[in-house]
Structure 1
Amino acid sequence: MAAHHVTDTQRVNKPVYPQVVVTEPGQSNSLCGCRHCASAPWAASDCGLPLKVQFERKTTLWLCVCRGSKHYPYCDGSHNPPLLRKHWLKLKQRLHQLVRRR
């Protein structure tokens, strides 16, 4: 099964947002690393490359749902048109700082 990537046309016509998840200390999850799971960014039972992660502290994850991130399964803003990517990354950093203060 081929990985599904969001095209520039889809980015303009239909916004794609990352899945934002706040984890708790001791929580563990399996993230999809193969880009083929229908449940992505979460690993399915038959995932070819599951990434098992356990969190020692409260963490905010920005998970890729467009499957186009260079840092998959983590979102890098690839879902945005190229001209907006820089602005999106600044917004992500600012939001991350606000969540950490809580």
Structure 2
Amino acid sequence: MPDSDSIPPILPEVRLVKPGETLLLCRCGRSPALPDCSSACSTGLRLQPAREQRLLLCRCGRSRRLPYCDGSHSPPAAGLKARWQRFTKGD
């Protein structure tokens, strides 16, 4: 069984959303298709963007700001450079 240090983190999804789209995003962290939510779930966030934008969406379910990623998929980091590296794959 691999140790937790060898399991790569589930990175967030950067999604381009446009006006006229309707998204149903998970706020409970239990969706098998994170960051998207099942239409049967009563806690989903229905989002209808007014302008084109990019969203950083949680795919691991650990964020305290679901459906948005807050970096909880990685350990705490000191400094701006180290915090940004949490959102990229390691080499």
Residue aligning to 1:27: 21
| Aligned Cα root-mean-square deviation (Å) | 2.5
In structure 2, the gaps of 5 or more residues are none
Structure 1 segments (4+ residues) deviating >3 Å? 89-92
In structure 1, runs of 5+ residues without a counterpart are 1-8, 93-102
Q: Residues 73-92 of structure 1: CA distance to partner in whole angstroms, max 9, x if unpaired?
A: 10011111213685334887
Q: Percent identity?
A: 34
CA distance in structure 1 between the aligned counterparts of 2:30 and 2:86, rounded to whole angstroms? 28
- 2:68 — aligned with what? 74
The alignment of Structure 1 onto Structure 2 pairs a total of residues equal to 83
Amino acid of the structure 1 residue aligned with 2:47: V
Q: Which amino acid in structure 2 is aligned with residue 82 of structure 1?
A: P
Secondary structure of the structure 1 residue equivalent to 2:77: helix
Opposite residue 58 of structure 2, the aligned amino acid is C
TM-score, normalization by structure 2: 0.75
TM norm structure 1: 0.68
Q: Distance in 2 between matches of 1:62 and 1:85?
A: 20
